[in-house]
Amino acid sequence: MGVGEIKRAVFLDRDGVLNPVVMRGGSPASPRGLDEFSLTPGAGEQVARLKEAGYVVIVVTNQPDVARGLLPQAELEAMHRVLAEGVGPDEIRFCPHDDHHQCACRKPKPGMLTQAADERGIDLTASWLVGDGYKDIEAARAAGVRAVLISADYNAQVAASRRVADLAEAVDLILEQG
């Protein structure tokens, strides 16, 4: 990165973007172990496209099942090793808290994005977030980041100005619009 160049990022939600969600009781949920965790086909190639275009790629994911005692930290770390090796983001950030903790890092609050920007010198106004839920869209708005929603049956009611079919379409949009 040369002098005066803007450092841009693409923040990627994990569940529903880089790996399929698990449906529990008719609602989308996070995998609770490696046996439920798989990567979305082509995710590694899409992350590589973003990195080749000069974006810093950071995963930002809420993982409240840690606080709820439903997901051991070691199991989360194992899933993130698979994600890191298979997809290759520059960083994986996660919030282990539940809503009642009122932390700054749990989406829809923008803490994971703003902290990454502060630490890495990222211009949030030149950055994007790709997610699959309203918390992702709200975190992007709160941080001043452009948002893209990956459409799914479970998020039809989520208001988003940019809605795409999958990660590849999201990356196409980001690369077209800069």
Residues serving a catalytic function are 13, 15
Question: 149: Cβ–Cβ under 8 A, 6 or more apart, which residues?
Answer: 131, 132, 136, 137, 155, 158, 160, 162, 163, 164
What value, to the nearest 5°, has the Cα angle with vertex 88 and ends 140 and 8? Answer: 40
For residue 81 the two structure tokens come to: 């090793």
For residue 142 the two structure tokens come to: 């709160």
